[in-house]
Protein backbone atom coordinates (compact mmCIF):
# COMPACT_ATOMS: atom_id res chain seq x y z
CA UNK A 1 0.00 0.00 0.00
CA UNK A 2 1.01 3.60 -0.60
CA UNK A 3 -0.43 6.70 1.03
CA UNK A 4 -0.10 10.06 -0.71
CA UNK A 5 -1.16 12.81 1.69
CA UNK A 6 -0.75 16.56 1.66
CA UNK A 7 0.49 17.31 5.19
CA UNK A 8 1.93 15.59 8.23
CA UNK A 9 -1.02 14.34 10.35
CA UNK A 10 -3.47 14.06 7.39
CA UNK A 11 -2.92 10.30 7.22
CA UNK A 12 -3.50 9.91 10.95
CA UNK A 13 -6.74 11.84 10.75
CA UNK A 14 -8.35 9.93 7.91
CA UNK A 15 -6.96 6.42 7.45
CA UNK A 16 -4.44 5.40 10.14
CA UNK A 17 -6.86 3.03 11.84
CA UNK A 18 -7.36 1.12 8.60
CA UNK A 19 -3.66 1.14 7.78
CA UNK A 20 -2.41 -0.14 11.12
CA UNK A 21 -4.82 -3.07 10.97
CA UNK A 22 -3.65 -3.86 7.43
CA UNK A 23 -0.04 -3.74 8.65
CA UNK A 24 -0.95 -6.12 11.48
CA UNK A 25 -2.34 -8.47 8.82
CA UNK A 26 0.94 -8.40 6.86
CA UNK A 27 0.66 -5.41 4.51
CA UNK A 28 3.59 -3.12 3.87
CA UNK A 29 2.79 0.61 3.73
CA UNK A 30 4.81 3.54 2.42
CA UNK A 31 3.87 7.19 2.95
CA UNK A 32 4.51 10.22 0.72
CA UNK A 33 3.95 13.61 2.32
CA UNK A 34 3.83 16.23 -0.40
CA UNK A 35 4.07 19.19 2.01
CA UNK A 36 6.04 19.41 5.25
CA UNK A 37 3.66 21.94 6.82
CA UNK A 38 5.98 24.88 7.37
CA UNK A 39 3.01 27.20 7.93
CA UNK A 40 1.55 25.02 10.68
CA UNK A 41 2.30 27.26 13.64
CA UNK A 42 0.34 29.98 15.45
CA UNK A 43 3.55 31.56 16.73
CA UNK A 44 4.18 34.81 14.76
CA UNK A 45 7.90 34.43 15.46
CA UNK A 46 8.12 30.85 14.18
CA UNK A 47 10.73 30.03 11.56
CA UNK A 48 9.07 28.14 8.68
CA UNK A 49 12.11 25.93 8.07
CA UNK A 50 12.22 24.97 11.75
CA UNK A 51 8.49 24.25 11.76
CA UNK A 52 8.86 22.02 8.69
CA UNK A 53 11.77 20.15 10.26
CA UNK A 54 9.83 19.55 13.47
CA UNK A 55 6.78 18.35 11.60
CA UNK A 56 8.85 15.94 9.52
CA UNK A 57 10.33 14.49 12.71
CA UNK A 58 6.84 14.13 14.17
CA UNK A 59 5.65 12.38 11.00
CA UNK A 60 8.53 9.90 11.18
CA UNK A 61 7.75 9.08 14.81
CA UNK A 62 4.06 8.61 14.05
CA UNK A 63 4.83 6.38 11.06
CA UNK A 64 7.21 4.26 13.12
CA UNK A 65 4.55 3.78 15.78
CA UNK A 66 2.10 2.53 13.15
CA UNK A 67 4.66 0.26 11.49
CA UNK A 68 4.87 2.18 8.21
CA UNK A 69 7.90 1.07 6.22
CA UNK A 70 9.12 4.43 4.91
CA UNK A 71 8.16 8.10 4.79
CA UNK A 72 9.17 10.33 1.87
CA UNK A 73 8.88 14.13 1.91
CA UNK A 74 8.37 16.03 -1.35
CA UNK A 75 8.63 19.45 0.37
CA UNK A 76 6.26 21.45 -1.81
CA UNK A 77 5.07 24.79 -0.41
CA UNK A 78 2.48 24.73 2.37
CA UNK A 79 -0.73 26.26 1.01
CA UNK A 80 1.01 26.85 -2.30
CA UNK A 81 1.18 23.45 -4.00
CA UNK A 82 -0.03 23.46 -7.61
CA UNK A 83 -1.01 20.66 -9.98
CA UNK A 84 2.17 20.84 -12.05
CA UNK A 85 4.10 18.45 -14.25
CA UNK A 86 6.80 18.31 -11.58
CA UNK A 87 4.33 17.20 -8.91
CA UNK A 88 2.76 14.60 -11.18
CA UNK A 89 6.20 13.30 -12.11
CA UNK A 90 7.16 12.96 -8.45
CA UNK A 91 3.98 11.03 -7.69
CA UNK A 92 4.38 8.78 -10.72
CA UNK A 93 7.93 8.05 -9.57
CA UNK A 94 6.64 7.06 -6.14
CA UNK A 95 4.00 4.77 -7.62
CA UNK A 96 6.56 3.10 -9.89
CA UNK A 97 9.15 2.83 -7.12
CA UNK A 98 6.95 1.08 -4.55
CA UNK A 99 4.44 -0.58 -6.92
CA UNK A 100 1.48 -0.56 -4.53
CA UNK A 101 -1.61 -2.65 -5.11
CA UNK A 102 -3.70 -0.01 -3.30
CA UNK A 103 -3.25 3.76 -3.06
CA UNK A 104 -4.80 5.89 -0.30
CA UNK A 105 -5.19 9.60 -1.00
CA UNK A 106 -7.50 12.62 -0.65
CA UNK A 107 -10.83 12.78 -2.49
CA UNK A 108 -10.41 15.84 -4.76
CA UNK A 109 -13.85 15.75 -6.38
CA UNK A 110 -16.16 15.31 -3.36
CA UNK A 111 -14.00 16.37 -0.42
CA UNK A 112 -15.05 16.55 3.18
CA UNK A 113 -15.74 19.12 4.42
CA UNK A 114 -17.32 20.44 1.22
CA UNK A 115 -16.35 23.91 0.00
CA UNK A 116 -13.87 24.55 2.84
CA UNK A 117 -11.51 21.60 2.32
CA UNK A 118 -7.88 22.74 2.37
CA UNK A 119 -6.76 23.52 -1.17
CA UNK A 120 -3.62 21.40 -0.70
CA UNK A 121 -5.82 18.35 -0.07
CA UNK A 122 -7.79 18.91 -3.26
CA UNK A 123 -4.74 19.53 -5.41
CA UNK A 124 -2.72 16.61 -4.04
CA UNK A 125 -5.66 14.26 -4.48
CA UNK A 126 -6.19 15.36 -8.07
CA UNK A 127 -2.52 15.01 -8.97
CA UNK A 128 -2.38 11.59 -7.29
CA UNK A 129 -5.35 10.32 -9.30
CA UNK A 130 -3.83 11.60 -12.52
CA UNK A 131 -0.59 9.86 -11.58
CA UNK A 132 -2.49 6.60 -11.06
CA UNK A 133 -4.32 6.84 -14.36
CA UNK A 134 -3.00 7.03 -16.91
CA UNK A 135 0.48 8.33 -16.14
CA UNK A 136 2.04 5.62 -13.94
CA UNK A 137 0.68 2.96 -16.31
CA UNK A 138 1.77 4.38 -19.66
CA UNK A 139 5.22 3.64 -21.04
CA UNK A 140 5.50 6.98 -22.82
CA UNK A 141 4.46 9.09 -19.81
CA UNK A 142 7.59 10.31 -18.02
CA UNK A 143 9.61 7.84 -20.07
CA UNK A 144 12.81 9.28 -18.57
CA UNK A 145 11.99 7.54 -15.28
CA UNK A 146 12.89 4.22 -16.90
CA UNK A 147 16.53 5.35 -16.74
CA UNK A 148 16.13 5.28 -12.95
CA UNK A 149 14.69 1.78 -13.08
CA UNK A 150 11.14 3.06 -12.56
CA UNK A 151 9.03 1.18 -15.07
CA UNK A 152 5.26 1.47 -15.59
CA UNK A 153 2.97 0.14 -12.90
CA UNK A 154 -0.81 -0.33 -12.66
CA UNK A 155 -2.57 0.25 -9.33
CA UNK A 156 -5.57 -2.00 -8.73
CA UNK A 157 -7.56 0.19 -6.31
CA UNK A 158 -7.61 3.73 -4.96
CA UNK A 159 -9.13 4.38 -1.53
CA UNK A 160 -10.11 8.03 -1.22
CA UNK A 161 -10.28 9.42 2.30
CA UNK A 162 -11.88 12.67 3.53
CA UNK A 163 -14.65 11.89 1.05
CA UNK A 164 -18.15 13.33 1.29
CA UNK A 165 -19.54 10.42 -0.75
CA UNK A 166 -17.72 7.56 0.99
CA UNK A 167 -19.41 4.18 0.54
CA UNK A 168 -16.98 1.75 2.23
CA UNK A 169 -16.62 1.62 6.02
CA UNK A 170 -13.83 -0.12 7.93
CA UNK A 171 -14.19 -1.16 11.56
CA UNK A 172 -11.11 0.37 13.21
CA UNK A 173 -11.77 -0.76 16.78
CA UNK A 174 -8.57 -2.82 16.86
CA UNK A 175 -6.47 0.02 15.48
CA UNK A 176 -8.09 3.05 17.07
CA UNK A 177 -5.78 3.48 20.06
CA UNK A 178 -2.69 3.37 17.82
CA UNK A 179 -4.33 5.80 15.39
CA UNK A 180 -4.73 8.29 18.22
CA UNK A 181 -1.27 7.58 19.60
CA UNK A 182 0.22 8.30 16.19
CA UNK A 183 -1.69 11.56 15.94
CA UNK A 184 -0.43 12.59 19.37
CA UNK A 185 3.14 12.28 18.09
CA UNK A 186 2.38 15.52 16.23
CA UNK A 187 2.94 17.54 19.36
CA UNK A 188 3.29 20.86 17.52
CA UNK A 189 -0.31 20.47 16.32
CA UNK A 190 -1.81 19.25 19.61
CA UNK A 191 -2.55 21.92 22.23
CA UNK A 192 -4.84 19.58 24.21
CA UNK A 193 -4.02 15.87 23.80
CA UNK A 194 -6.80 14.70 26.13
CA UNK A 195 -9.46 16.64 24.24
CA UNK A 196 -8.18 15.34 20.91
CA UNK A 197 -8.45 11.73 22.06
CA UNK A 198 -12.01 12.28 23.27
CA UNK A 199 -13.05 14.12 20.12
CA UNK A 200 -11.54 11.52 17.81
CA UNK A 201 -13.30 8.66 19.59
CA UNK A 202 -16.57 10.56 19.32
CA UNK A 203 -16.02 11.20 15.62
CA UNK A 204 -15.12 7.56 14.88
CA UNK A 205 -18.16 6.39 16.87
CA UNK A 206 -20.44 8.78 14.99
CA UNK A 207 -19.13 7.53 11.65
CA UNK A 208 -19.46 3.93 12.77
CA UNK A 209 -22.98 4.34 14.12
CA UNK A 210 -24.27 5.07 10.62
CA UNK A 211 -23.18 1.62 9.43
CA UNK A 212 -23.52 -0.45 12.60
CA UNK A 213 -19.85 -0.36 13.64
CA UNK A 214 -18.37 0.71 16.96
CA UNK A 215 -15.57 2.86 15.48
CA UNK A 216 -15.03 3.42 11.78
CA UNK A 217 -13.21 5.17 8.96
CA UNK A 218 -14.89 5.56 5.57
CA UNK A 219 -13.64 5.69 2.00
CA UNK A 220 -14.66 6.04 -1.61
CA UNK A 221 -13.06 3.06 -3.36
CA UNK A 222 -12.18 3.17 -7.05
CA UNK A 223 -11.14 0.19 -9.16
CA UNK A 224 -8.73 1.03 -11.92
The CA distance from 11 to 67, in Å, is 13
Report d(CA 211, CA 166) in Å as an integer.
12
Answer yes or no: pTM beyond 0.75: yes
The Cα 125–Cα 95 span in angstroms is 14
State yes or no: cis peptide before 113, omega within 30 of 0: yes
CA–CA distance, 39 with 47 (Å, rounded to integer)? 9
Residue 134's domain comprises 2-223
The crossing angle, in degrees rounded to 10, of helices 119-130 and 85-98 is 60
Q: What is the domain count for the chain?
A: 1
Look up the CATH number of the domain holding residue 61.
3.40.50.10320
pLDDT given at position 28: 98
Convert the pLDDT of each residue in 99-155 to its tens digit: 999 999 999 999 999 999 999 999 999 999 999 999 999 999 999 999 999 999 999
**Given this model, what pLDDT does residue 95 score?**
98
Amino acid sequence: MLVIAAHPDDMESWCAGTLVQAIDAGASVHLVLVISGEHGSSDPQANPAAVASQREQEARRAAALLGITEVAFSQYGDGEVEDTRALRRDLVAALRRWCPVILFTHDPEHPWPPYLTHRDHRIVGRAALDAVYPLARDHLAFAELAQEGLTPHTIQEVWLFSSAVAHVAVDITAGFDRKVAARLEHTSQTPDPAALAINWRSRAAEIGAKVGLALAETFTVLST
